[in-house]
Copies of this chain bind each other. A is one copy, B any other.
Amino acid sequence: MKSKPTSFDIAHMAGVSQSTVSRALSNSPLVNAETREKVQRIANELNYKVDKNASSLRTQRSKTIALLLFEDPSSDDSQINPFFISMLGSITKACSTAGYDLLVSFQNLQDDWHAEYEDSNKADGIILLGYGDYLDYQSKLEQLEKQETHFVRWGAHDPNHPGISVGCHNYQGGYLVTEHLIKRGRKRFAFIGVADSGAPEFMARFQGMENALIQHNLIDQFIGQFDAIFTLEAGEEATEMLLEEGTLPDAIVCASDLIAIGVQRAMQAKGLICPNDIAVVGFDNIPVSEFTNPPLTTVKQDTQKAGKVLVDKLLRLIEGETASDMLLPTELVIRKSS
């Protein structure tokens, strides 16, 4: 059969009206059980599927969510941040459970992506995952809000930021991992990662560490915070600067696993042993962290839960309900680097 059957074809074969076919296939209670079964059987035989475009046009609901992964234009296309990959997996699953399709798009920050998806009725709402400087995309988030686009984003909780955010408890994670290092006798800390309002998640991790040091009277011995964006290379460079500073730390807390791997590499190049000379800890628990040399102690973000929560919140917004920010707990993963 060349052309696809329509609901009229099914109706004809079942000897009922097209309206009844539509009702039967959507399991409407308004249709006789026997009629429904007959219609469904015939639809199955013909391999009939409801036309998504017609259905969406009529109901003004696409039952589709758009996932926008945006990133610094600097980064390589094929190298998606591994942390977001895990998120992608759990978001896909959550969408499918909710009966939604998922449209995926990678965007650069320059791109004119705002709201395109919902404005054209391709999607009922948008999930934003991104890294890069928060300040660069704040204005786009504000525009989304102004256009009343339904969206949620992964990121830091801040009442001043537009939209609903879901994120992990970065402050707690920074605190936990620092406390762990202190218990193991580390005293001279350094932090690698940008810690300003352009990177609110990194900043919260930094503050968690800082507070743990204060509580344990170690803040006087704090060696310093060294800027690094989210990449391995940035971690490597920052470490080179740190190691030229004079006093060596005995623990380096990194804002992410990728940074921490860069730190380990830079140390190796200088002949420093991890953890004997310096303990190194990361954040994210990306799959690679288990295989570095030595395996990385890190803070795990629960991506399974995160994806589910993001989708749930977004669906609430789509339904016209309210939703609020959410912080997910973090979990310490202790390996040999500490």
A-side interface mostly: mixed
Q: Are A77 and B304 in contact (CB under 8 A)?
A: yes
Q: Are A102 and B101 in contact (CB under 8 A)?
A: no
Cβ-defined partner of A116 (8 Å) among B2, B49, B86, B103: B49
Q: Are B103 and A101 in contact (CB under 8 A)?
A: yes
Q: List 13 A-B contacts (CB under 8 A).
A: A49-B119, A52-B120, A53-B57, A54-B57, A77-B90, A78-B86, A78-B89, A78-B304, A79-B287, A92-B104, A102-B105, A261-B291, A291-B293
Instruction: Please name the residue on chain B nearest to A106 by beta carbon.
Output: B92
Please encode chain A, from 289 to 305, with 1 for each CB lying within 8 Å of some chain B CB and 0 for all others. 00111000000000110
State the CA gap A261–B292 with chains docked (Å). 11
Cβ-defined partner of A50 (8 Å) among B88, B93, B102, B120: B120
Check: A211 CB closer than 8 A to any chain B CB. Answer: no
State the CA gap A260–B48 with chains docked (Å). 46
Check: A22 CB closer than 8 A to any chain B CB. Answer: no
| 4 closest Cβ pairs, A-B complex | A49-B120, A53-B57, A49-B119, A53-B56
Q: Are A106 and B93 in contact (CB under 8 A)?
A: yes
Chain A 1-60 residues near chain B, CB threshold 8 A: 2, 4, 47-54, 56-57
Q: List 18 extra interface pairs beyond A49-B119, A88-B104, CB under 8 A.
A: A2-B148, A47-B115, A52-B62, A53-B54, A53-B57, A57-B57, A64-B103, A78-B89, A78-B90, A78-B304, A80-B85, A93-B106, A101-B103, A101-B105, A102-B103, A102-B104, A288-B291, A291-B291
Q: Are B101 and A53 in contact (CB under 8 A)?
A: no
Instruction: Please name the residue on chain B nearest to A67 by beta carbon.
Output: B104
Question: Which of A56, A78, A148, A303 lies at the interface centre, i.e. has the most chain B CB atoms within 10 A of its CB?
Answer: A78
Check: A207 CB closer than 8 A to any chain B CB. Answer: no
State the CA gap A274–B102 with chains docked (Å). 43
Chain A 157-201 residues near chain B, CB threshold 8 A: none
Q: Which B residues lie within 8 Å of A291 (CB)?
A: 261, 288, 291-293
Instruction: Please name the residue on chain B nearest to A5 by beta carbon.
Output: B119
Check: A121 CB closer than 8 A to any chain B CB. Answer: yes
State the CA gap A261–B147 with chains docked (Å). 49
Check: A221 CB closer than 8 A to any chain B CB. Answer: no
Q: Which B residues lie within 8 Å of A62 (CB)?
A: 52-53
Q: Are B106 and A52 in contact (CB under 8 A)?
A: no
